[in-house]
Amino acid sequence: MSVEITTGPPEVRVPASAEVTDTLGTAETVLTRRTGAPVRLADPEDLGGSGRSVVMRVRVAETPFELPRTLVVKHYGAVPAKGYADPFAHEAASCQLATALPPELRVGPELIAQDTEKRLLVLEDLGRGANLADVLFADDPRAAERSLLAWARALGRLHTSMAGREADFDALMRRIGVESWTDPVADDIQRSLRELPELLARSLDLSLPEEMRARLDSAAGLLGSTRYRSFSPSDICPDNSLVTGNGVRFLDFEWACVRDIALDAAYLQFPFPSSWCSYAMPSGLVDNMLATWRSEIVEVWSDLDDDAVLMPRLLDAQLLWVWVSTWWFLPRDGQLDGPIDAHMPSPRRSTALADRWQRLGKDAEAGGMPEVAAYAERMVRALVERFGSGALELRPYPAFR
């Protein structure tokens, strides 16, 4: 399946007026059926979305029942072709699963109503607050630090509150009509394990030693069934993380799944590997984010309080993320070394990749993986040789400059 992640978030589009009218009418029908009385919506406000869906904020103009003053409506397009994951099914099942939690434990929007046939969700409006990307690209380092620590805490709380819910997620997906689901990132990692060696040989004249291949195969054990699995939004990038007065809330569950929590926690080790929004952070802050997440998850996985248990798993996850992001972002033949996302303030692809391999090399050396450290050093040299010394100049987020 394709996850449309190779160039950052899907390009935002403005819905056509006919789509807005259709979505409003469909949402009114769904809410009217749910409440048993007419509901009228007004003042649609485009919230972006993608080629897959229309997303808008609407005002509840008329209802005999108590509903929030505003709601968010997400209307999906056609069902994907057979063999491709259905983002509507993933999001609908995820929102049902999360809404079943007590309000104080929720880290996403409440599901108000849904219609599987019409492929529409009506969600709680979490407000007009800034998302984490807004904060990181502003000029207040203290606000950025607070928000990142809140993000780490919310991630840990999500993992603990949703642990042991895989059977429930399976059942919800089947009820929507999906016989089986996969983690789209895991699919891409498996594909990158097959395809990246040839790409590296062709583009960077870099071979893959057997000891490195063995290390990658071992790390890929995280993609299977482990005892550290929990629900994951999958795409936990800054622009999908809303900063509210009650902490960070996650948005967009189109690729949500259940997977090993180390794959999410690796986002704490280096900045947002699947995102356009990938700049450097202060090292002390990275350590504090990991400690914050860890303080939450040890309630469920007490053995992860032991560095000897946790850190090798995080290093394996980091290796997989660096590997798959190299497969995503390394310029192919004829491609320019442009930004990760041409429509966002992104670093150059080579710069982001060189920084990730440098960081991986240092962490691997400290973590007792000399074969990974040696290969990372070779990778950085190859990137600099092809793209120039500017590949070594990843700047911090604007909030920390």
Domain boundaries, the chain: 17-124, 132-400
- The residue ranking higher by pLDDT, 6 or 201, is 201
Strand partners, 243: 248
Q: How confident is the model at residue 334 (pLDDT cuts 50, 70, 90)?
A: confident
Q: What is the pLDDT of residue 352?
A: 94
pLDDT of residue 171 exceeding 80: yes
Q: Using one digit for the tens of pLDDT, what is the confidence trace for 239-281? A: 999 999 889 999 999 999 999 999 999 988 878 888 888 899 9
User: Of the candidates 124, 122, 121, 146, which has an alpha carbon nearest to the alpha carbon of residue 136?
Assistant: 146
Q: Which CATH superfamily is domain 132-400 in?
A: Aminoglycoside phosphotransferase (APH), C-terminal lobe (3.90.1200.10)
Average of per-residue pLDDT across 6-12? 34
**For residues 310-331, average pLDDT:** 97
Nearby residues of 276 by Cβ (< 8 Å), 6 or more positions away: 7, 8, 9, 237, 339, 340, 341, 344, 346
**In the predicted structure, residue 48 carries a pLDDT above the cut 80:** no
Residue 14 has pLDDT above 90, yes or no: no
Q: Using 50, 70 and 90 to split pLDDT, how confident is the model at 2?
A: very low
Q: Is the pLDDT of residue 15 over 80?
A: no
Q: What is the DSSP letter of 306?
A: S
b/e per residue 143-168 (b: at least 16 CB within 10 A): ebbebbbbbbbbbbbbbbbbbebbeb
Per-residue confidence band for 52, with pLDDT thresholds at 50, 70 and 90: confident
Using alpha carbons, select from 55, 26, 247, 272 the residue that is nearest to residue 151. 247
Kindly indicate the confidence band of residue 383, based on its pLDDT and cuts at 50, 70 and 90: very high
pLDDT interval class at 357 (50, 70, 90): very high
Q: Which two tokens stand for residue 214?
A: 């063995």
User: Hey, what long-range contacts does 20-28 have (CB within 8 A, 24 or more apart)?
Assistant: 20/44, 20/46, 20/54, 20/56, 22/75, 23/54, 23/56, 23/73, 23/75, 23/120, 24/58, 24/73, 26/75, 26/115, 26/118, 26/120, 27/58, 27/71, 27/73, 27/75, 27/120, 27/122
Check residues 210 and 79 and name the one with the higher pLDDT. Answer: 210
Residue for token pair 């403005």 = 14
Asked whether 121 and 208 are in contact (CB, 8 A), the reply is no
In the chain the first and final C-alpha atoms are separated, in Å, by 38
Q: Answer yes or no: are the C-beta atoms of 279 and 347 closer than 8 Å.
A: yes
Single-letter amino acid, residue 227:
R
**Averaged confidence pLDDT in the chain:** 90
Structure tokens, 289: 């984010």
* 238 vs 257: CA distance, rounded Å: 19
pLDDT on residue 11: 34
The rounded distance, in Å, linking the Cα atoms of 345 and 395 is 12
Beta-carbon neighbour count of residue 14 at 10 Å?
11
Residue 45 has pLDDT above 70, yes or no: yes
Q: Decide if pLDDT at 211 tops 90.
A: yes
The domain defined by 17-124 carries CATH number 3.30.200.20: yes
**320 CB burial (10 A radius; 0-12, 13-18, 19+):** buried
Comparing 17-124 with 132-400, is the CATH topology the same?
A: no
| Antiparallel, parallel or unpaired: β 257-260 and 229-232 | antiparallel
Q: Which pTM was predicted?
A: 0.91
Are the beta carbons of 317 and 222 closer than 8 angstroms? Answer: yes
For residue 20, the model assigns a pLDDT of 62
Q: pLDDT band for position 16 (50/70/90)?
A: very low
Q: Which long-range contacts (CB under 8 A, 24 or more apart) does 367-375 make?
A: 367/311, 367/312, 367/315, 369/215, 369/315, 371/209, 371/211, 371/212, 371/215, 372/212, 372/215, 372/315, 372/319, 375/208, 375/209, 375/212
pLDDT, tens digit (0-9, with 9 covering 90-100), for 212-221? 999 999 999 9
pLDDT 10s digits, 58-103? 999 988 778 899 999 999 988 888 778 889 999 999 999 999 999 9
